[in-house]
Amino acid sequence: MGNRLTKIYTRTGDDGSTGLATGERVAKDCSLIKAQGDLDELNANLACVLVHSSEESEVCAIILALQHQLFNVGGELSAPQCELTHAADILWLEQWIDHFNQDLPALKDFILPGGDAAVAHCHVARTVCRRAERHLVEWSSEHELRVELLQYVNRLSDLLFVLCRVLEKLKQTAPSYWQKDLKLPQPKKII
């Protein structure tokens, strides 16, 4: 186990930089740090899904495992010499996608984010995951990044989309489908 945090503030980031586990200092607005922040935000949103999904034990077990795996991804991003994300992790995501997808009806149109609180938070987690992926792709255009990390984050967003649909089904909330020709509501006339 690494060093424990005993001092929360160090003042070393006051200049807008932050340290990686390698000792290298990078700007806090670089795409790597943005991706790490996105993964942290994703993890927090997964916690919100958990809070609102206590009765769905299989889904909760997966989300808790995802939270641990996200720390592995973040750890590897900070210390690239530590390979913490593997092909087996990507396969695990794909197996869960296939497992859940087999009992879901085929999609005929786009789904609007919504449902209950768990579903909505899961949609937020999915979109934050996509943002993390975009920042990782940006970082990888100029820096070496293992392909497994990009594959993992890409597959994770797919699983989160499927979990949104699973939660809707478990909670018996009907999905809202995109209506391209939706008649817009009009304000009532004021007399």
Interval 66-86: pLDDT, tens: 999 999 999 999 888 889 999
Report the share of the chain in percent with pLDDT over 90: 55
Strand ranges (E), 6-131: 17-19, 25-27, 111-112
DSSP 3-state assignment of 148?
helix
Which domains are delineated in the chain? 26-102+112-172 (1.20.1200.10)
The pTM score is 0.86
Report the share of the chain in percent with pLDDT over 70: 92
DSSP 3-state assignment of 17?
strand
Highest mean pLDDT (candidates 21-25, 118-122, 156-160): 156-160
Q: What sign results for the dihedral spanned by CA atoms 57, 91, 67, 83?
A: positive
Q: How far is CA 79 from the centre of its chain?
A: 20
Nearest to 73 by CA among 8, 164, 4, 155: 155
